Amino acid sequence: VTVLEKPIFSSSGKTVTVRLQGGRRFRIAGELANNPGGWTESRVEFLDSTLQEQDEERGSNPLDLAIAMSLARNLTSIPHESNRTQNYVEEWLSLARQNQRSEGQINILLEELGEMPDDGSPSECAFWIGALINPLPALGVAMEIRPGLLLATTARERMEIALEGIQRSISHMNGSRRMW
């Protein structure tokens, strides 16, 4: 984990809680080793979404990146037959505020997440959506999409997962299609 902020340590009795915020994605590049202190260690290779997307653009299907950017744009403005523009992120935020487990939970989450990346960075946009709809502590309003986002190998796959995740969460919260 790359620490983006000072860890907050709290202890109660024999338990110590450390709050860390992950900053960069990585892939395990070496053998796993169990440290006698109780944690697992390995060499890692950090992943860069921008470089991956540049590789996709030069790859076998450069149209996939354009589709991913279009899907990212769809998160914030989708024209409907009614000539009304639907904004999935704003609609999700409105519904989530009605379903938050503690007062101000969504505002705190938005402060921690920062601004949503623009549609020119579809992978980062997808990861942002994953963190939004699957926060910690959990809201219980969306299926878990973070593992799928991390396992996806292209920006298009990530955006498809994020878009489906936020759409299903909205349908669950507005009651049109409950998930459980």
Q: What is the pLDDT of residues 91-149, one digit of tens each?
A: 999 999 999 888 999 999 999 999 999 999 999 999 999 999 999 888 999 999 999 99
Beta strands in the chain (DSSP E): 8-12, 15-19, 26-28, 33-34, 40-41, 44-46, 78-79, 85-86
The type of residue at 146 is R
Phi/psi of residue 16, nearest 5 degrees: -120, 130
How many Cβ atoms are within 10 Å of 138's Cβ, its own excluded? 10
Dump pLDDT digits (tens) for 136-167. Answer: 888 999 999 999 999 999 999 999 999 999 99
Distance from CA of residue 74 to its chain's centroid? Answer: 16
Give the torsion through C-alpha atoms of 61, 65, 71, 77, to 10 deg: -140
Of 7, 1, 113, nearest in space to 46 by CA: 1
Which residue in 108, 104, 109, 103 sits closest to 142, CA to CA? 109
Of 146, 145, 148, whose CA–CA distance to 169 is shortest? 145
Per-residue pLDDT of 4-34, as tens digits, reads: 555 555 666 666 666 666 678 888 998 999 9
Helix (H) or strand (E) holding 55: helix 49-58
